[in-house]
Structure 1
Amino acid sequence: MARNVEFFSTDTDDGTISVVAKAGPGEHRRIDQIRVGNAPRGGVKFTRSGRGFVCNTSQNTISEIDPVAHTEVRRIEVGHGPRGQGLLPGDTYLLVSNSGSDTVSIVDLELNVEIHQVPVGRDPRHMGISADGRSAWVCVWGAGYVSKLDLTALVERQDAAGVTEVARIPVDAKAHPYSLGIDPSGRRVFVANTQATYVTVIDTATHETHRVDVGFIGGRGVAFSPDGRHALITVESISRVYVIDVDTLAVTRHIPVGGGPRGLVVDPADSTAYVTNFSRTNLRAVAPELDYDPNTLTVIDLGSAPLDREEGVFDTEPLYVGFGPCSVTMFDLDTLPEQERQRRTERLTT
């Protein structure tokens, strides 16, 4: 049965979002590019109703995009240098980290306007929201810690001014925490550090931290296997995805991918991972054995080799997108209301 899944690649150098349709395993086709603002960064965040949002870092705005019409709907002004986003359950509020303002914006998605900014420290980047929507964990890249925000006032009383920073969990001043992911059980936060040779793991209940050595700097993106047993971490400097056991915190293996991997997303329906290759050069010139082009996603069949041990080679393929892909997210259009799905069908057949 054909699927209506689309992947949205944030292409920083193009100022666009590339749209890739997926009909089934290995059946991919780039079908469109959506023009947004200058230097888009971070993955597109989608509401359940299909509103997509992406940061325009050089223009101090976020763009809303329509995943059916593949158009930009509007721009909303936020702080300086927006980089990362977090969508609260219920799809009423969006958090935006402003790397130039040292704040997190709270955007009301019913009014389509920023309503408050929360100070968090120097140069915040990417974030994660707890499943209950009551906590945000924000990488503060310039200060070397993860900021925890209490969102209870926003969730219970729609009180944006009541959102407060309740903890600063140290990573290291020189580690530069870049992005993070909350494991599906909600017990641990995995933090990718751009200037440390380790991944930081935070216990959500106690704020106790652990270090998982990967041997190289350049941590960028975090995702999880469909069963939640393994964390997947992109390491840009060595062009690999490292696999970490969520329970034991042991590194179980690594997966070679394209040059300069940053963002990644996993399609749980067929255990396929998609990794953005941000490197602007062709690695064959310096490493002929690496058969990867720039401006691509590396598609990894996670079921083609074990994740828990170094055995076998994963099946991979390149997927061409726009220039400077830094992040990728997916959206299942089959989750849209029938009227929206019909609108997509009409668009594709005309």
Structure 2
Amino acid sequence: MGPVESAAAEDGAGGLDRVHRVLAQPRVGMGPEAVAVDVRRRRAFVACSRSDAVTAVDLVRMTPVWRAGVGREPIPIVFDAPTGRLFTADARSDIVSVLDAGTGEPLARIAVGAYPAGLGYHPRLRRIFSGDTAAATITVVDADRLAPIGVIPAGLGAGSIAIDRRRDRGYCANFMAASLTVFDPVTLRPLDRIPVGRGPCKVVADPVADRLYVANSLENTVLWLSLADGRVGGSFPVERAPVGLAVSRDGRHVYVCNRGAGTVSVLDVRAGAESHRIRVGYGPGDCVIDPATGRLLVSNAGSGTLTIVDRPWLPGPEAPAGHPAVGRLLPGFALPDLRTGRIRTTREWAEKKYVINFFASW
């Protein structure tokens, strides 16, 4: 049993530690998106969409140990503990790739619908569910036979999939249809369509709070629904373009990857509000909680890194106040070029990146 999060934690000296710590940010590849954890081997696996590969990271040394090629643009990843296999949906190859999690050896390539961008997993049923974005379908894969066994109609932009194992209900986020498709993972029948906010990117089921969380990337909100009756219970405002979600094991905190802000919002479920934010790398795509340590693992699509955060439920130090000139337009000025005598102005470099080196002597 992993550690249970609390509102405060004692440090080694017996004092109160109110600061989360970024322990490491190993480079994993280009465009890292989803993350999965093998608790027994102490490894994390990152789907690197722009490298067309999966990178394995040793969570003790916090360094990569292997990288394996898959299809084009892997986005989601699932770890199947009983078989020690990894599954990635490779969006631009229309396949699900299967790897040996210990070595990275390729095991199978399974054809699914057009542009698969999300995966769901039901370990008891031994089934993997692929959200096929362009096909508006969910392809169901037998996790042992490594073969498709059915297709479920969904909505346009079908992607992220969450499974309520208590009731055997599946939920697929339809990005362009602004809805959730509810389906039966046993009979493979669609059951309902639930409207949500614009651009639902990620859905996560929390069995502790009995809630389903939905990241609406185009509305900058996280919606929550009751798993018992499917009714919308409320929403949380977050920063720009939330695309990834993870829930703590005790159901107390929800972690939201704000792709447009380079932060993770930490939502306190009991308080019903955001408690603090954690600055990570550029373009955070998704995150997961390491069950063994409670640490937060965040993939940074724009930085090519994996941020490992210790005790993420604790607020960090306040960010220093920025200079009042930050964010304002650069005032125009003109100076002579020391080599030619020509007058140069800031208008010559409008909309361009440049470096100004100020030198003074006295």
Q: TM-score, normalised by structure 1?
A: 0.75
Matches within 5 A, 1:91-240: 92-132=84-124, 134-153=126-145, 163-172=146-155, 175-185=156-166, 187-206=168-187, 207-214=189-196, 216-240=197-221
8 Å CA contact 1:4–1:22 kept in 2: the answer is no
| Equivalence for 2:278 | 319
1:37 to 29, 38, 53: 29
Shift of 1:77: 1.3
Q: How does 1:240-319 map to 2 (within 5 A)?
A: 240-269=221-250, 271-279=252-260, 294-305=261-272, 314-319=273-278
| Identity rate, percent | 24
Letter of the structure 2 residue corresponding to residue 322 of structure 1: G
Give the counterpart of 1:68 among 60, 75, 80. Answer: 60
Q: Report the aligned-residue RMSD.
A: 2.5
Residue-pair matches, total: 285
Evaluate the alpha carbon distance shift between residue 182 and residue 297 of structure 1 in structure 2; reply closer, same or farther with a 3 A threshold: same
TM-superposed CA distance for 1:27, in Å, is 4.2
Question: Is the CA contact 1:183–1:228 (under 8 Å) kept in the aligned structure 2?
Answer: no
Say if 1:57 and 1:81, in contact at 8 Å, map to a contact too.
yes
Structure 1: distance between partners of 2:10 and 2:121: 27
After TM superposition, the structure 1 stretch with the greater mean CA deviation from structure 2, 125-134 or 322-331, is 125-134
Match of 2:148, as an amino acid?
Answer: E
1:302-347 CA distances to partner (integer Å, 9 max, x unpaired)? 1113xxxxxxxx2421111000001011114459xxxxxxxxxxxx
Which structure carries more helix by proportion?
1
2-side partners of 1:79 and 1:243: how far apart? Answer: 33
The structural deviation recorded for 1:128 is 1.6
Residues 91 and 109, structure 1, Cα contact 8 Å, conserved in 2: no
Unaligned runs of 5+ in 2: 295-362
C-alpha distance in 1 between matches for 2:65 and 2:114: 31
Q: Please name the residue that 1:48 is paired with.
A: 40
Contact 1:30-1:320 within 8 A present in 2 as well = no
CA distance in 1, matches of 2:243, 2:17: 23
Unaligned runs of 5+ in 1: 6-20, 154-162, 280-293, 306-313, 336-350
What secondary structure is seen at the aligned counterpart in 1 of 2:151? Answer: strand
Structure number with greater Rg is: 2
